[in-house]
Structure 1
Amino acid sequence: MSGEKTVTLTPGRLRSWPLPRPEGDKSSRGTVLVLGGSRSTPGAVLLAGTAALRAGAGKLQMATTESTAAALSIAVPEALVVGLPETDTGAMRGEMGDQLAGLVRGADVVLIGPGLVDVEETGALLEAVLDVVDADTRLIVDAYALGALAERQSLLHGRKTYAVLTPNVSEGARLLDRELGDDLDAEAIELASTYGCVVSLFGHVADPDGSVWREETGDSGLGTSGSGDAAAGVIAGLLARGAEPAQAASWGVYAHAASGQRLAVQHGRTGYLAREIVDGVAPILAELES
């Protein structure tokens, strides 16, 4: 790739691309619905949802498996938590009941994927969400939902949906059905072009027209359990505030990486936790917006 459209993300660059500043009550900062989890992975939904609130979302709703909903509602008292049917193995069923359909239609941002564990059920759930989501609702496809999308690449074709994909390198390879090369700018562009939406790939953000924004300070410590859920949640929160997809993804990857850099001073390069990354996002954003 030539690099002509690549922008390195720095505090100065982000300040010249300011986030919307909603006025009024929590409704003005949007509603995020996180759809995910299983009997064994409720923490992914907690991390993503909390990160959305730390990034400034006004309202948080979480739809997860019925066996974990009560515990999750206690862990995140700020959220509306809904329990959904699950399989015998504790995976969320790929069903769209009236309650979930109402939540999807009422959300400004839907984040699907964190903590989901059955690719077939996830694929059915993703298709059901796409069938009922409003055209102006922002959609983030993450984690297992990306694997489901890779098996059903046509799901996003022809849909007027503001989508953001948040793959790691292995998920990106699955989406393109090949191993990725070293030029992640070029790979992010191909993903964005193939799926017709903004892609955040390991600190490289691309949109379908070939523009790329690159975050260059992220270190190995970000590769910790739950970190991807946190990053997706930050992007969801910024979308809820009114940021456009490429802007939300760019600000999100920068805040996520910067939080990790600060934690590395206290805990070493690989000693901090995803929940600590989440807690560090709000101070980073506050400094950038000051």
Structure 2
Amino acid sequence: MTDAPALTPNLLRGWPLPARDGAKDDRGGVLVVGGARRTPGAAALTGLTALRIGAGRLTLAVAGSVATALAVATPESGVLALPEDADGSPTGELPPHLADELGRADAVVVGPGLDEPQGSARLVRGVLAALGDADDAPAVLLDAFALGVLPGMADDVRLPPGRVVLTPNLAEAARLLDGDDPAPEEAAARVAARWGAVVTCAGRVAHPDGRVWASATGYAGLGTSGSGDVLAGAVAGLLAGGCPPEQAACWGTAVHGAAGDRLAARVGPLGYLARELADEVPAVLVELRP
């Protein structure tokens, strides 16, 4: 594989983000669909990072048994209750209030905090079907458990071209490649080619047309619980602001890594928390402003 250009500050400053002015709806709305009873924090981390990177409005759709608690814990967000099974896992049914929110969102994330395959598959199918293929349909980001069930739906689910980002870790990338473990530097490109979507994985971003970029940041401390949810939120918040998928993935990956660099310098290379990554995002954006 040829060397990929590094996502340096100079490269990013030459690829400026769209202006985000006006009221909250003008800055883009993000809907996060996930949050089983055991893991509602994953959806919260994703959504709050989307706000940190500039989105104006956030809605979290989570298992009904944790919806009230999450609404109290994240007063910046609207919270919707999803039907759940006896274990607190979303069943995949799309209630009317969620269908309404899908129509308002500029970017939809499915996956953070899901924990059961059948319900997750139903959610992915239902969300993609509800969004349709219209040119003005929201961007879509699939993460975590939504990626785990995607290979089983390859024959009956079509990812709409030009508006989907996948954010797998290496284990999820292998699953998306039918169990073939990719080398870290090849994972993003191989998954992008296989699924026809922009992919960020292991510090690389790949477009299905063959373009690839490499992160210029990041310490081992990024490998911590919730870090992937922060990355998904950063990318989703940029998608909601009007970035094309490749720009959102490149900037989101770079900002996520730079936030880790800031914490590594201040806290140490290991031991910082995913929630602290989200808190660093606004300062990183200031540093990268042209």
TM-score (norm 2): 0.95
Q: 2:149 — aligned with what?
A: 148
CA contact (8 A) 2:159 2:197 kept: no
**Structure 2 partner of 1:66:** 64
Measured in 2, the distance between the counterparts of 1:155 and 1:276 equals 39
| Residue in 2 that maps onto 1:11 | 9
Q: Determine if contact 1:105/1:134 at 8 Å carries over to the other structure.
A: no
Q: What is the DSSP-based 3-state SS (H/G/I as helix, E as strand, rest coil) of the residue aligned with 1:91?
A: coil
Structure 2 residue 116 is matched with structure 1 residue 118 = yes
Amino acid in structure 2 at the alignment position of 1:102 = D
Distance in 1 of aligned mates of 2:193 and 2:225: 29
Q: CA deviation at 1:286?
A: 1.6
Residues 143-165 of structure 1 show CA distances to partners (whole Å, capped at 9, x for unaligned) of 00000112212455373461100
Q: What is the distance in 1 between the residues matched to 2:156 and 2:18?
A: 30
* Secondary structure of 1:279 counterpart: helix
For residues 238-268 of structure 1, the C-alpha deviation after alignment (integer angstroms, 9 at most, x for no partner) is: 1111111000110001111111111112222
Take 1:219 and 1:180, find their aligned partners in 2: how far apart are those partners? 23
Q: Distance in 1 between matches of 2:111 and 2:159?
A: 22
SS at match of 1:167: coil
1:134 Cα offset (Å): 4.4
Aligned residues of 1:192 and 1:199 also touching (Cα < 8 A): yes
Corresponding residue number in structure 1 for 2:182: 181
Residues 183 and 125 of structure 1: CA distance in aligned 2, closer, same or farther (over 3 Å): closer
- Aligned pair 1:244/2:241, yes or no? no
1:53-78 Cα offsets, whole Å, 9 max, x none, are 00100100110011111111111111
Matching of residue 157 in structure 1 with residue 155 in structure 2: no
Alpha-carbon distance between aligned partners in 2 of 1:179 and 1:58, rounded to the nearest angstrom: 40
- Corresponding letter in the other structure for 1:31: G
Consecutive aligned runs of 4 or more in structure 1 exceeding 6 Å deviation? none
SS class of match (1:271): coil
Percent identical across equivalent pairs? 46
Whole-angstrom CA distance in 1 between matches of 2:209 and 2:42: 32
Candidates 41, 44, 60, aligned match of 2:42: 44
CA distance in 2, matches of 1:261, 1:239: 24
User: What is the RMSD computed on CA atoms of the aligned residues?
Assistant: 1.4
Cα distance per residue 1:84-117 (max 9 Å; x no partner):
1111011011111211111112211000000000
- Residue identity matched to 1:288: L
Per the alignment, residue 213 of structure 1 pairs with 213
CA distance in 2 between counterparts of 1:190 and 1:142 reads 17
1:196-248 Cα shifts (integer Å, max 9, x gaps): 11001111100110000110321210010000001100101111111110001
Is there any run of 5+ residues in structure 2 with no aligned partner, and where?
Answer: none
Q: CA deviation at 1:179?
A: 3.5
Indicate conservation of the 8 Å contact 1:122/1:148, yes or no: yes
C-alpha deviation, 1:183, in angstroms:
5.1
- Alpha carbons 1:14, 1:288 under 8 Å: kept: yes
Counterpart pick for 1:82 among 71, 80, 83:
80
**How far apart, in 2, do the equivalents of 1:253 and 1:158 lie?**
22
Distance in 1 separating the partners of 2:161 and 2:183: 32
